Structure 1
C-alpha cells in the first residue's frame, strides 16, 4: 500500500491538471510517481521543467541519460526507478536489454558512455565528492565541464525520484525490474 496519496489526473483541476498535461507531453504517460509529486504542484512543476530542459537542451543522448538513471537506481535499490528506466531505456532510448543491464553496473561498450557512467558512479557513491584525478580522467575521455555539470544534474534528478519512489512506496506501473535481480543480471 502506498505511503503517500496519489492524485488521479481525471480528478485534478487547475494547475495540477495543467501539470499532468505537461507530464504526459514530456513522458508520454502519467506515471504513479508524477501522481505522488502532484501532492505538491510546485514539485511536479519543477520536475517537469527539469526533465524537459535536460531532454530538449542537454547534450547527453537519451541512451546515456537512461544509463545514468539505471546506474543510480541500482545503487539506491529503487525498484520503481529501475522498472521505469529499463522500460524507457529499451523502448524509448533504443538500448538493448543487455545494454540496460550492463548500465546498472556502470558498463557500456562506448568509451565515452563508460566515462559518463564512471563519473556518475563516483557522484552517487561518494555523495558528490569528485577528486581532481577523477575529473582529469573524465576530461581525458572527452567530457567538458558542461558535460560534468549535466551528469551531476542527472544523478541529482535520479536521486530525487529514487528517494521519493522509495519513501512513497507507490505501486510500480512499469514492467517490474528488481534491484535484487542484480545477481541474475551479472551472469
Structure 2
C-alpha cells in the first residue's frame, strides 16, 4: 500500500508556505487535507480560491451540500471536518446526520438542497427530474443550481484526494452514518 505523507511547511513551495502561514494564522493549524494539496505547487491555492469564491449559497447551505456529497463519496476526512464546521454554523447533531443522509425533516428548503446534492453525486450529474423540480419549487433558481453543482465538484475533489491518499483525519472523527441513526 502506498503511503502519503502530510507535507510540512518546509517541504512545500514558497507560495504554499505563505498559504500555510495564512491558514495557521486564521485557523490555528493547517488541516492535513489542505497540506496534502500542497504536494502540488498550484493545487492548494487553486482549491482555496475555488472553494472560497462567491456563491449564491449561504454558509449553512454550503455545509448541507458538503455533508451530503461527502457521505455519498464515503470520505471520512470531509465528513469529520464538515461535521465540525456544521456545528460551528449552528447545526445540531441530528440535523447533521440528516444532511449526511440527504434530507432534512425540519426545513423544506434544506431538505430539497440535501436531496439534490445527494442525487447529483450518486447519479454523477444525471439528476432526477423530480429532485430538480422539488429544488426549484422551494424557491431556488437556476443560478443556485449551478452553484450547487460547482460545490459538488469542489467537494468531490477533496473527497477523492482523501480517498486516494488516506492521510490522517485531524478533526474529531465522524461516526459511520449507520451508527448515528437510531
Residue range with higher mean Cα deviation, 132-141 or 58-67: 132-141
> Structure 1 residue 8: deviation in Å?
1.0
Q: How many residues align?
A: 181
- Using the alignment, how far apart are the partners of 1:102 and 1:89 within structure 2? 12
Partner of 2:21: 21
Question: Structure 1, unaligned stretches of length 5 or more?
Answer: none
> Structure 1 residue 36: deviation in Å?
0.7
Matching of residue 106 in structure 1 with residue 102 in structure 2: yes
Q: TM-score, normalised by structure 1?
A: 0.87
- Pair 1:86–1:27, CA change in 2 (3 A): same
- Pair 1:40–1:2, CA change in 2 (3 A): same
Q: Give a deviation string over 1:43-100, Cα, whole Å, max 9, x none.
A: 11111101211xxx2121212211211111111111111111111110x211111111
Partner of 1:47: 47
Q: Give a deviation string over 1:93-120, Cα, whole Å, max 9, x none.
A: 1111111111111122111111111111
Partner of 1:127: 124
- Using the alignment, how far apart are the partners of 1:182 and 1:106 within structure 2? 11
8 Å Cα contact 1:19-1:41 kept in structure 2: no
Residue range with higher mean Cα deviation, 151-160 or 15-24: 15-24
List structure 1 runs of 4+ shifted beyond 3 angstroms: 10-13, 21-29, 131-134
1:58 is paired with a residue whose SS is coil
Matching of residue 61 in structure 1 with residue 58 in structure 2: yes
8 Å Cα contact 1:82-1:177 kept in structure 2: yes
8 Å Cα contact 1:2-1:169 kept in structure 2: no
2:42 is paired with a residue whose SS is helix
Q: TM-score, normalised by structure 2?
A: 0.89
Matching of residue 117 in structure 1 with residue 129 in structure 2: no
8 Å Cα contact 2:24-2:30 kept in structure 1: yes
> Structure 1 residue 10: deviation in Å?
5.1
- Root-mean-square deviation (Å): 2.0
